[in-house]
A and B are shown apart, each in its own frame.
Chain A
C-alpha cells in the first residue's frame, strides 16, 4: 500500500479537482496531463517493463485516433466502438511489429519501430480515399455519453482518470505478478531467462501488443477530446519521443513514473504556451528545447528517473534519522 501512496495522492487530487474548480484552463491541463501520462504508461509496458524501447509508439496512438475518428465520421458509429476497433488494430499491429522485430536489440529495435510509424504516417497522409489524406479529419461534436461529446470538461476528467488508473493498475500488476517477474527477467538478461524456461519471444511480443492496445485507446480518446486528427501529429516521431520522455523522466519501469513525467513536462509545456502565445508564438518551441536538454541530463545523471531518485533520497533520510 505504501508504494501506491503517490498514486493515491495524484489520482485522488485529480478526482477532487472538478469539485473545487470549474476553470476550463485548469481542467484542460489536468485532462491532458492524465492522458499523456496514460499513453506514456502504455509505452512503459513495452519500453520499461519488457525493455523493448520503442521509438515508434505514435504508430499505435495514431491507429487509435484514426479508428475512432473514421468510425465516427464515415460510418457514423459510436467512438466507443472506435476505441475497441483501434485497440484491436493496434494489438494486431503490435503483434506483427513485435514478431518481426523480435530478434532486434537496442538501436535496431528503435529504428525498426520508427520505420513502422513512418509507414503508417505515409499511408494516413496519402491514402486519400480512406483517410482524407494530409488535411486530417475533423471529428464532429455529438453530445451524449454514447457519442463521447460533452459540453463540460468534468466528464472528460473522470473518463481520462479512469483510463489512467487502469493503466496504473496494469503496471502494478506487472510489478507483482508472475508474468511481470518473467518480463523483468527477459529485460535484464534474456539468455538467462530463456535458460530458465521463460518463453522470452512470446512474452516480448505480448508486452508490445498490450502496450500498443493501451496507447491506441489513449489515441482514440485524444481524437475525441481534441476533435481533430492530423496525421503529421498523431504519427510523428516527436510524439513517440514524448511517450518515452515522460516515462524516462518520471522513472522508466515504474507504475507512477510516466504520470510524474507527464505532470512535469505537460505543465511546463502548458505554462510556456500560455506565457508566450500572446506576444510571440514562435517562442513556444522553447519548451521543446528544454525537453531535449532535460532528456540528455536525466538519462546521464538520473537514469532511474525522478521517482527512483526521490525514493533513494527518502530512504537515505530514513536511515539518517534512525542512526
Chain B
C-alpha cells in the first residue's frame, strides 16, 4: 500500500478545513436551534473577500485573515439584526425559509455583482509542494489546516472555559432556565450567530488558494458540512471534528478507489444512511431528531 501515507495525510488536512466550516454550523444550531441554510454563502463571501483583496491590492489571503475576523463578525451582527432576530423563536419552517431566502439573495447578489466566472487566488504558497516520505501536499493546504485546527480548538476552549462560553452553553441546554438566571438570550444568539459566521468566513479565506471562487462555490462545501454536522450530532462541536475526519476519509478513499467523479454519491449515501438510521448522529442521543431539536 504505497498510497496509504498520502491517503492518511490528505484525509487529515481536508478534515481540518471541513471542521472549521462545520463547527460554525453546529455552533449556530446548538445554541439557536436554527439550521443555517445560508452557511455556504458566507463561505463564498469569505472566498471572494480573499480574491478581491488579492487581485486589487495584492494582499496575501493570510494577511486578509486578520481582517476577516472583524469583517465577518460585523456581517454576523448585521444579518442577525436584520434577518435572524425576528425568527429565532419562530417555527422550523419559518427559520428554514428565512435562511434559504438569505442564501438565494446572497448567492445571486454575488452573481450580479461579480458574474458567474470561475476565479482563482494563486499566491506563491499555493505552488509550494512539501514532501514527507511518500506523502506530498502543498503549503497552502498545510497552513489552512493548521489555522483551522487552531481556530476550532480556540472556539472549543472558549465554549468550555470562559464565562461567555458557559452562558452560551447554558442557553443551549435550557433557554427558560437561562432566562430566569438573568441571561440575555438575545445577546447569546447574536454572539453565536456572529461567531459561527466568523468561522465559516475564515474557512472561505483559507480555502481560496485551494479551490476556485464562484457564486455557488459554497453549495458543495456546505452540503458536506451538513453531512459532517449530522454525523457528529447537530450541536456537538467535538462530534463535528470527528465527523469532518470521517467525511474527509470517505472522500479521499472514495476518490482513490472509485475515481473522484463518484465520491459525492458515496457521502450522500452515507448522509442519508445516517439520517435514516442514526439521525441524532453517531455519538448523539437517540431520538433527538424527533424532539424540538
Interface residues on B, range: 35 or more
Contact A118 B268 (CB under 8 A): yes
Bound-state CA distance A116–B92 (Å) is 20
Bound-state CA distance A244–B104 (Å) is 13
A255-293 residues at the B interface, CB under 8 angstroms: 282-283, 285-286, 288-289, 291-293
B68-90 residues at the A interface, CB under 8 angstroms: 83, 86-87, 90
> B216-232 CB contact bits vs A (8 Å, 1 = yes)?
00010001001100100
Contact B276 A300 (CB under 8 A): no
Bound-state CA distance A118–B227 (Å) is 13
A85-102 residues at the B interface, CB under 8 angstroms: 100-101
Contact B269 A119 (CB under 8 A): yes
Bound-state CA distance A115–B228 (Å) is 13
Contact A237 B219 (CB under 8 A): yes
In the complex with contacts A104-B275, A107-B96, A292-B268 CB distance below 8 A: no
Contact A115 B98 (CB under 8 A): no
- Residues in chain B near residue A289, CB distance under 8 A: 104-105, 108-109, 112
B96 to chain A minimum Cβ distance, whole angstroms, is 6
Contact B223 A118 (CB under 8 A): yes
For B97, B98, B102, B230, which residue has the most chain A Cβ atoms within 10 angstroms? B97
In this assembly, does B8 line the interface, its C-beta being within 8 Å of a C-beta of chain A? no
Contact B98 A299 (CB under 8 A): yes
Contact B101 A282 (CB under 8 A): no
Bound-state CA distance A299–B102 (Å) is 12
In this assembly, does A169 line the interface, its C-beta being within 8 Å of a C-beta of chain B? no
Bound-state CA distance A32–B219 (Å) is 27
- Residues in chain A near residue B103, CB distance under 8 A: 292
Number of A residues near B (Cβ < 8 Å) is: 42
- Residues in chain B near residue A159, CB distance under 8 A: none
For B90, B92, B102, which residue has the most chain A Cβ atoms within 10 angstroms? B92
- Residues in chain A near residue B87, CB distance under 8 A: 299-300
In this assembly, does A315 line the interface, its C-beta being within 8 Å of a C-beta of chain B? no
Bound-state CA distance A173–B265 (Å) is 38
Bound-state CA distance A241–B92 (Å) is 16
Bound-state CA distance A104–B280 (Å) is 10
Give chain B's interface secondary structure class. helix
Contact A114 B35 (CB under 8 A): no
Contact A299 B94 (CB under 8 A): yes
In the complex with contacts A53-B93, A285-B108, A292-B102, A115-B265 CB distance below 8 A: no
- Residues in chain B near residue A282, CB distance under 8 A: 111-112, 115
A-B contact count (CB 8 A): 134
In this assembly, does B262 line the interface, its C-beta being within 8 Å of a C-beta of chain A? yes
A129 to chain B minimum Cβ distance, whole angstroms, is 13
Bound-state CA distance A286–B104 (Å) is 11
For A238, A283, A285, which residue has the most chain B Cβ atoms within 10 angstroms? A285
A301 to chain B minimum Cβ distance, whole angstroms, is 9
For B106, B115, B289, which residue has the most chain A Cβ atoms within 10 angstroms? B289
- Residues in chain A near residue B210, CB distance under 8 A: none
Contact A105 B289 (CB under 8 A): yes
In this assembly, does A123 line the interface, its C-beta being within 8 Å of a C-beta of chain B? yes
Query: Which partner residue on chain B sits nearest A116 by CB separation?
Result: B272
A106-123 residues at the B interface, CB under 8 angstroms: 106-108, 110-112, 114-116, 118-119, 122-123
In this assembly, does B66 line the interface, its C-beta being within 8 Å of a C-beta of chain A? no
In this assembly, does A55 line the interface, its C-beta being within 8 Å of a C-beta of chain B? yes
B118-175 residues at the A interface, CB under 8 angstroms: none
Contact B275 A115 (CB under 8 A): yes
In the complex with contacts A108-B279, A122-B264, A291-B271 CB distance below 8 A: no
Bound-state CA distance A18–B105 (Å) is 35
Bound-state CA distance A59–B109 (Å) is 26
- Residues in chain A near residue B104, CB distance under 8 A: 238, 241, 288-289, 291-292, 295
Contact B97 A244 (CB under 8 A): yes
Select which of B219, B226, B227, B262 is within 8 A of A126 by beta carbon.
B262
- Residues in chain B near residue A245, CB distance under 8 A: 97
Contact A122 B35 (CB under 8 A): no
Select which of B106, B219, B230, B265 is within 8 A of A111 by beta carbon.
B230
In this assembly, does A296 line the interface, its C-beta being within 8 Å of a C-beta of chain B? yes
Contact B289 A108 (CB under 8 A): yes
In this assembly, does A303 line the interface, its C-beta being within 8 Å of a C-beta of chain B? yes
A261 to chain B minimum Cβ distance, whole angstroms, is 13
Contact A111 B275 (CB under 8 A): yes
For A248, A292, A303, which residue has the most chain B Cβ atoms within 10 angstroms? A292
For B35, B96, B230, which residue has the most chain A Cβ atoms within 10 angstroms? B96
B292 to chain A minimum Cβ distance, whole angstroms, is 9
For A283, A288, A291, which residue has the most chain B Cβ atoms within 10 angstroms? A288
In this assembly, does A103 line the interface, its C-beta being within 8 Å of a C-beta of chain B? yes
In this assembly, does A294 line the interface, its C-beta being within 8 Å of a C-beta of chain B? yes
B159 to chain A minimum Cβ distance, whole angstroms, is 22
Bound-state CA distance A108–B269 (Å) is 15
Query: Which partner residue on chain A sits nearest B97 by CB separation?
Result: A299
Contact B265 A119 (CB under 8 A): yes
A139 to chain B minimum Cβ distance, whole angstroms, is 25
5 A–B contacts from the bound complex (CB under 8 Å): A104-B279, A126-B262, A245-B97, A283-B112, A294-B101
A interface residues with partner B (beta carbon < 8 Å) = 53, 55, 100-101, 103-108, 110-112, 114-116, 118-119, 122-123, 126, 237-238, 241, 244-245, 248, 282-283, 285-286, 288-289, 291-296, 299-300, 303
Query: Which 9 A-B pairs have CB atoms at the shortest separation, nearest pair first?
Result: A292-B105, A295-B101, A106-B92, A292-B104, A107-B35, A288-B108, A296-B101, A285-B112, A285-B108
